[in-house]
């Protein structure tokens, strides 16, 4: 019954994607950047395949399946043509006896030097280096061996572009309280994964390799960054937050000590950007000897004029930490992304 209930939830979420949305675009667009080189190398998937601190961005329910302690950090230069911009994600989580988990994370975005403008005085007042951020607290509960639910609350602070007379009381900043909710069903139908007996190397190093934890099919859905509008200093102005609905699935056709394979797809709807479905994300990961991970994917814009591009990357994984990189060309110049993760079972 629990599995059927989760399937109903996913179907309802897919139907929501087709509902009409407001035409006005949301602000704080930096929150759309996918953190982590693992996701970026696989076309941006993440709602059903992360069970570590990166779940705090994609789907808080994934924390319910995380190791006892996880920490993650990534760095990205998302807009190569704007040399001063940089995006970073840092998160950590703690799982209590596979029953519930808590996590904290932050998204940080440096915009580089920008001109301070004033519509009521001199056109340019000088230069500023805007810094936007989001701090988040997440909780997750493991309702059954295969089902997790989660929620988050966050504080967003973003920079207002206009430095007019109304700026004096607000210092050019605006803030909002936002929320996330999510559900994940992990390792359903494990018999759908082909398991081949691996090699026993008899080496102490083999004990340091990452042990595959997911099998069969995992599905997930999350509603991210919903809440009140982002207020400007002028009380008559406001903007919608970057609310996003994600629905996705991951399939693990092969898991063994020699090789493993994962295939995934996410559907993304940015609720306040108008139109229908916003993006589709396709990803794949091949692991060799549980240490080397090779990844590739496709980030597809479904609306006219939206970017579509291929992605790829690789990583070294061990039982306790991993280092990963991703590369893609969204505009004219290539973007490189790097991340690291740490995990420990107690």
- With a pLDDT cut of 70, the percent of the chain lying above it is 77
Q: pLDDT per residue over 33-90, tens digit each?
A: 999 999 999 999 999 999 999 999 999 999 999 999 999 999 988 877 666 788 999 9
Per-residue pLDDT, averaged over 211-240, amounts to: 84
For residue 158, pLDDT over 90 is answered with no
123: left (phi over 0), alpha (psi -120 to 50) or beta: alpha
Give the count of alpha carbons within 13 A of 71, CB side only.
4
Q: How far apart are CA 30 and CA 77, in angstroms?
A: 11
Q: pLDDT per residue over 251-275, tens digit each?
A: 999 988 889 999 999 999 999 887 7
SS3 74: strand
Q: What number of residues does the chain have?
A: 346
Residue with more model confidence, 289 or 4: 289
329: tokens are 């060309």
HEC profile of 211-277: CCCCCEEEEEEEEEEEECCEECCCCCCEECCCCEEEEEEEEEEEEECCEEEEEEEEEEEECCCCCCC
Share the mean pLDDT of the chain.
83
Residue 2's pLDDT is 35
Q: Outline where DSSP puts E strands in the chain.
A: 69-76, 86-96, 100-110, 114-117, 124-128, 131-142, 147-159, 173-188, 194-196, 216-227, 230-231, 238-239, 244-256, 259-270, 279-288, 292-301, 309-317, 321-328, 335-344
Q: pLDDT per residue over 93-107, tens digit each?
A: 999 988 899 999 999
Residue 130's pLDDT is 72
SS3 37: helix
Domains in the chain, CATH or no CATH each? 2-338 (2.40.160.40)
SS3 47: coil
SS3 33: coil
Lowest mean pLDDT among 205-209, 308-312, 338-342: 205-209
Burial class (CB in 10 A: 0-12, 13-18, 19+), 107: buried
Q: How confident is the model at residue 116 (pLDDT cuts 50, 70, 90)?
A: low
* 233 neighbors 169 (Cβ within 8 angstroms): yes
């Amino acid at each position: 019954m629990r599995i059927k209930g989760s399937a109903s939830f996913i179907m309802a979420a897919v139907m929501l994607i087709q509902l009409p949305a407001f035409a006005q675009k949301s602000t704080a667009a930096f929150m759309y950047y996918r953190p982590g080189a693992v996701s970026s190398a696989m076309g941006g998937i993440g709602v059903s395949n992360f069970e570590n601190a990166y779940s705090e961005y994609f789907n808080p329910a994934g924390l319910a399946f995380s190791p006892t302690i996880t920490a993650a950090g990534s760095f990205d230069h998302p807009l190569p043509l704007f040399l001063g911009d940089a995006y970073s994600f840092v998160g950590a989580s703690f799982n209590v006896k596979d029953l519930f988990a808590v996590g904290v994370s932050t998204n940080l975005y440096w915009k580089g030097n920008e001109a301070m403008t004033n519509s009521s005085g001199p056109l340019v007042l000088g230069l500023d280096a805007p810094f936007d951020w989001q701090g988040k607290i997440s909780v997750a509960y493991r309702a059954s061996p295969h089902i997790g639910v989660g929620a988050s609350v966050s504080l967003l602070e973003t920079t207002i572009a206009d430095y007019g007379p109304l700026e004096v009381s607000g210092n050019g900043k605006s803030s909002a309280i936002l929320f996330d909710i999510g559900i994940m069903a992990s390792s359903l139908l494990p018999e759908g994964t082909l398991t081949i007996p691996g090699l026993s190397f008899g080496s102490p190093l083999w004990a340091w390799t990452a042990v595959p934890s997911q099998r069969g099919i995992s599905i997930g859905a999350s509603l991210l960054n919903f809440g009140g509008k982002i207020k400007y200093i002028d009380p008559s102005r406001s903007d919608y937050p970057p609310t996003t609905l994600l629905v996705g699935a991951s399939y693990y056709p092969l898991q063994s000590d020699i090789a493993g394979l994962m295939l995934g797809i996410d559907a993304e709807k940015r609720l306040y950007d108008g139109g229908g479905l916003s993006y589709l994300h396709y990803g794949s990961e091949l692991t060799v000897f549980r240490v080397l991970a090779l990844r590739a994917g496709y980030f597809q814009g479904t609306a006219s004029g939206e970017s579509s591009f291929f992605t790829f990357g690789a990583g070294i994984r061990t039982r306790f930490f991993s280092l990963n990189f991703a590369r893609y060309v969204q505009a004219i110049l290539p973007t490189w992304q790097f991340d690291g993760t740490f995990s420990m079972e107690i």
